Amino acid sequence: MPLPLPDLDTRRFDDLVGEMRAMIPLLAPEWTNHNLSDPGITLLELLAWVSEANLYRANRIPARTLANFISLLLGESSIQSEDFRQAMSGVTTQDIERAARQVSGEVDEVHVRYAERENRVSVLIVLRAGAMQAADIVRAAQMRLQGLWVSGPRPVAESLDGARQRALRFFNDPYRAITTADFEREAMLASADVGRVSIASFPEAGTITVAVVPASGAVPDAALLRTVKARLDDRKLVGTRIVVRPPRYTDITLKVSLVTRPNTVKREVVDTVTGAISGFFNPLGGGRDRRGWPFGRPVSAYELYYLIESLAGVDHVEGLEINEDLQAREVPIDDLPSLRSLTITPVN
**At 80, is the pLDDT very low, low, confident or very high (cuts 50, 70, 90)?**
low
pLDDT recorded at residue 131 = 75
- Percent residues over pLDDT 70 in the chain: 93
Q: Per residue in 237-277, pLDDT tens? A: 988 999 999 999 999 999 999 999 998 999 999 999 999 99
Confirm if 107 and 125 have CB atoms less than 8 A apart.
Answer: yes
Of 5, 23, 58, the one marking the end of a domain is 58
The pTM of the full predicted model, rounded to 2 decimals, is 0.59
- Considering 76-80, 92-96, 206-210, the range whose residues carry the highest mean pLDDT is 206-210
Average the pLDDT over 180-197 and give the result: 93
Report yes or no on 105 lying in a domain.
yes
Asked if residue 2 belongs to a domain, the reply is no
Instruction: Give me the domain span that covers residue 276.
Output: 249-346
Contact residues for 89 (Cβ-Cβ < 8 A; gap 6+)? 149, 151, 152
pLDDT surpasses 80 at 9: no
Answer yes or no: are the C-beta atoms of 112 and 128 closer than 8 Å.
Answer: no
- Residue 154: exposure state from Cβ atoms within 10 A (0-12, 13-18, ≥19): exposed
Q: Which of 171, 192, 217 is the last residue of a domain?
A: 171
287-299 average pLDDT score: 90
Q: End of a domain among 144, 171, 198?
A: 171
d(CA 305, CA 286): 16
